[in-house]
């Protein structure tokens, strides 16, 4: 369910920037600045991905919620009061039986908790003067009492699922540019500036990550990039910051592809990010980063000529990429890889006649990791 950011007449003059659904043009939220709207859009896409983690939970509004939303829309049309553009958009989705996102369910729960006090106002109940009040209409737009009960149930189910689930092993890597890797600013048709460069370099050994080194193997992300497996909507951030979005695939502002050298990207930042374009052009940006998680069986440990361990990433999913001003030392983001390395070392111990040597290697690896972290501070 893609969204885009644009100014909308449905929003107030003080908050003109809207997050708009592509399929029906409804407004998901209004904001004072374009940056704030982009942050909400990023959260919505994250929620869409999050919903896959709750695939056993039914996010389709039940009949009572749909009927209450329809009632709220009819009241608002008749009386010209109650609710906001966001509330109307929510009611349209609910009335049409459209599944909500996990984040929307949480917002519904919060809305009802905040507005419970509105029930004490004049015009809430049928037969009272001023019925239906603006508060009563707004309450209906969000699904009414049925919506409150349903939202509370969804949040309870999500909390229970979260308590059962193990966190996804998300990993992040930064790399420092050498001459051929540097990002460039280029102009496209109409003078539109874009940032172009590499986010992943294949076959390049990392620095010491605490007793081992790492390299991303050619084609590690191809199954995802070629859409042979489930692919999330890739995004580009500056300095890993979701509040500084540069572009997104679904909006056409980010392109990602791979070749024999690595994974490339081309992103068209919004006009408000002119400072980032200048930093890239001046070569103040010293590296790039990417976020990924391994596919099942997507890694292997090998040893080089000197017997040093190397972790090879052979199959993984990529989620986010972009430029960074100062690349972080890899050991600071290598907790998942370190667990794999320790498990591999334990396996090697079973095949060796001198366990004391393995123990010394493990101690040395732990010491190297601590030293690496200190150097990164």
| Residue extents of the structural domains in the chain | 3-164, 171-376
Cα–Cα distance for residue pair 62/64, rounded to 1 Å: 6
What is the pTM (predicted TM-score) of this model? 0.51
CA distance 320 to 102: 21
Structure confidence at residue 339 (pLDDT): 79
Instruction: Mark out the alpha helices in 80-195 (DSSP H runs).
Output: 85-95, 102-115, 134-141, 144-164
Confidence of residue 94 (pLDDT cuts 50, 70, 90): very high
Once rounded to an integer, what is the mean pLDDT over residues 334-351?
76
Mean pLDDT across the chain: 84
| pLDDT recorded at residue 159 | 79
180-184, 207-211, 229-233: least confidently modelled range: 229-233
CB within 8 Å of 173: residues ≥ 6 apart = 206, 214, 216, 289, 290, 292, 330, 333
Q: Which residues contact 136 (CB under 8 A, 6 or more apart)?
A: 75, 82, 118, 123, 124
Q: What percent of the chain has pLDDT over 70?
A: 84
Q: What is the mean pLDDT of the segment spanning 124-131?
A: 92
In this model, does residue 166 exceed pLDDT 50? no
Query: 11-25, 200-214, 329-343: which has the highest mean pLDDT?
Result: 200-214
Q: Any idea which of 177-181, 251-255, 317-321, 350-354 has the lowest mean pLDDT?
A: 350-354
Q: For the chain, how long is the longest CA-to-CA vector?
A: 89
> Where are the strands (E) in 145-261, listed by range?
171-176, 184-187, 193-201, 212-216, 235-238, 241-248, 254-258
CB of 174 closer than 8 Å to CB of 324: yes
pLDDT digits (tens, 9 = 90+) for 216-246: 999 999 988 886 554 567 999 999 888 899 9
Which pLDDT belongs to residue 165? 46
**In this model, does residue 150 exceed pLDDT 80?**
yes
Q: Tell me which of 11-15, 192-196, 226-230, 262-266 is least confident.
A: 226-230
The SS3 call for residue 166 is coil
14-23, 38-47, 228-237, 355-364 — which one is most confidently predicted on average? 14-23
Least confident of 3-7, 96-100, 291-295: 3-7
């Amino acid at each position: 369910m893609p969204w885009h950011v644009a100014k909308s007449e449905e929003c107030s003059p003080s908050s003109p920037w809207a997050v708009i659904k592509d399929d029906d043009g409804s407004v998901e939220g209004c904001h004072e600045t374009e940056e704030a709207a982009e942050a909400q859009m990023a959260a919505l896409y994250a929620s869409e991905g999050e919903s896959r983690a709750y695939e056993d939970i039914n996010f389709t509004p039940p009949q009572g919620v749909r009927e209450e939303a329809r009632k709220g829309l009819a009241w608002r049309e008749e009386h010209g009061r109650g609710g906001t553009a966001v509330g109307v958009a929510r009611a349209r989705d609910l009335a049409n039986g459209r599944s909500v996102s996990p984040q929307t369910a949480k917002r519904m729960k919060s809305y009802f908790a905040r507005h419970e006090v509105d029930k004490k106002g004049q015009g809430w109940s049928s037969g009272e003067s001023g019925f239906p009040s603006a508060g009563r209409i707004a309450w209906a737009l969000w699904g009414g009492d049925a919506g409150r009960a349903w939202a509370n149930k969804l949040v309870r189910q999500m909390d229970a699922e979260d308590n059962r689930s193990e966190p996804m092993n998300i990993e992040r890597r930064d790399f420092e540019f050498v001459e051929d890797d540097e990002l460039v600013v280029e102009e496209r048709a109409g003078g539109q500036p874009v940032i172009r460069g590499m986010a992943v370099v294949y076959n390049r050994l990392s620095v010491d990550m605490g007793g081992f080194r790492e390299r991303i193997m050619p084609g590690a992300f191809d199954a995802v990039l070629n859409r042979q497996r489930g692919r999330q909507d890739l995004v580009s951030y500056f300095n890993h910051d979701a509040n500084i979005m540069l572009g997104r695939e679904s909006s056409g502002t980010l392109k990602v592809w791979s070749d024999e050298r690595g994974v490339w990207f081309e992103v068209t930042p919004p006009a408000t990010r002119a400072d980032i374009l200048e930093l890239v052009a001046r070569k103040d940006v010293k590296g790039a980063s990417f976020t990924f998680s391994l596919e099942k069986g997507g890694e292997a440990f090998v040893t080089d000529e000197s017997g040093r361990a190397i972790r090879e990433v052979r199959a993984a999913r990529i989620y986010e990429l972009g430029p960074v001003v100062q690349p972080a030392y890899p050991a600071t983001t290598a907790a998942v890889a370190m667990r794999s390395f320790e498990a591999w070392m334990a396996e090697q111990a079973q095949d060796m006649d001198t366990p004391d040597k393995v123990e010394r290697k493990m101690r040395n690896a732990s010491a190297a990791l601590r030293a690496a972290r200190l150097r990164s501070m």
